[in-house]
């Protein structure tokens, strides 16, 4: 078990470009979550999947954001036409949702800087 | 709407002292989580509190949950420098592992 893996770890992009982040959850975890965190703040929920189904999306997730989990394993988060306000750390988390009270594990995060 | 408030947001203390971080949440929540975050790093799970009256301890950290008061506390005993970090509490929404987070408490422990 290698934990939750995210890449790239850092991305600097010009405003207007598209970026994609990948998350590989812990292999037996059926639930996968994306959060966004800006400096000095707590994470904010973006969306989550149970297996391949995207079950909920936050109002924060504008139509420039899209997330997929095509085979119920890894997930991607794409941001189109990036804006400076998108600069943040994007965190992925996974958990075995089959039981209550399990630990939610977070990846190392993907830092996005839009210039 | 579930909201989570932590206080204090910043805490500077001397090694060897005790202190408590408070976490209030606004509506009924099934579970309460505590995480630690070091600068530039991800979130490390500390405790998951499942029911009213739950108390968990790990080393110098102890967390408790009072669901009637909608309050959780993280108590630090005889602080050491290595505990310097930002501590977050998060309440779970709708029993689906979706977390609503506090703003975090930045803890600095001076040797």
Select from B99, B70, B74 the least CA-distant residue to B86: B74
Q: A–B: how many Cβ contacts below 8 A?
A: 63
pLDDT, greater one: A99 or B47:
B47
Record: contact A107-B42, CB cut-off 8 A: yes
Record: contact B43-A43, CB cut-off 8 A: yes
pLDDT band per the 50, 70, 90 thresholds, residue A1: low
Question: What is the rounded average pLDDT of the residues A111-115?
Answer: 97
| Spatial separation of the C-alpha atoms in residues B62 and B52, rounded to whole Å | 15
Record: contact A55-B96, CB cut-off 8 A: yes
Among B45, B88, B98, whose Cβ lies nearest the Cβ of A42?
Answer: B88
Question: What is the rounded average pLDDT of the residues A45-73?
Answer: 92
Q: What is the pLDDT, as a whole number, of residue A97? A: 82
| B54 close to A (CB below 8 A) | no
pLDDT over threshold 60, residue B62: yes
pLDDT, greater one: A80 or B52:
A80
Select from B99, B6, B103, B30 the least CA-distant residue to A40: B103
pLDDT band per the 50, 70, 90 thresholds, residue A28: confident
Q: What is the pLDDT, as a whole number, of residue B11? A: 94
pLDDT band per the 50, 70, 90 thresholds, residue B28: confident
pLDDT over threshold 80, residue A98: no
Distances (CA, A) of A87 to A17, A33, A82, A112, B33: 13, 19, 9, 5, 26
- The token duo for B110 is 């001076």
3-state helix, strand, coil in chain A (%, to 5): 5, 50, 50
CA B8 to chain A, closest CA, distance in angstroms equals 14
């Amino acid at each position: 078990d290698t934990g939750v893996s995210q890449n790239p770890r850092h991305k600097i992009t010009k405003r207007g470009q598209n970026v994609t982040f990948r998350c590989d959850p812990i292999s037996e975890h059926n639930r996968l979550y994306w959060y966004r965190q800006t400096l000095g703040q707590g994470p904010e929920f973006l969306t989550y999947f149970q297996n391949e189904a995207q079950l909920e999306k936050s109002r924060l997730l504008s139509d420039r954001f899209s997330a997929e989990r095509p085979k119920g394993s890894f997930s991607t988060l794409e941001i189109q036409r990036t804006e400076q306000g998108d600069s943040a750390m994007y965190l992925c988390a996974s958990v075995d949702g089959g039981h209550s009270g399990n630990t939610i594990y977070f990846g190392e995060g993907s830092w996005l800087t839009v210039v | 709407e579930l909201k989570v408030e932590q206080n204090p947001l910043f805490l500077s203390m001397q090694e060897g002292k005790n202190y408590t971080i408070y976490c209030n949440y606004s509506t009924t929540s099934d579970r309460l989580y505590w995480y630690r975050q070091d600068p530039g790093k991800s979130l490390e799970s500390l405790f998951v509190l499942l029911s009213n009256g739950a108390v968990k301890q790990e080393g110098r950290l102890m967390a408790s949950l009072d669901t009637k008061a909608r309050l959780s506390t993280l108590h630090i005993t005889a602080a050491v420098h290595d505990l310097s970090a930002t501590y977050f509490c998060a309440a779970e929404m709708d029993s689906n592992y979706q977390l609503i987070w506090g703003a975090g408490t930045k803890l600095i422990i001076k040797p």
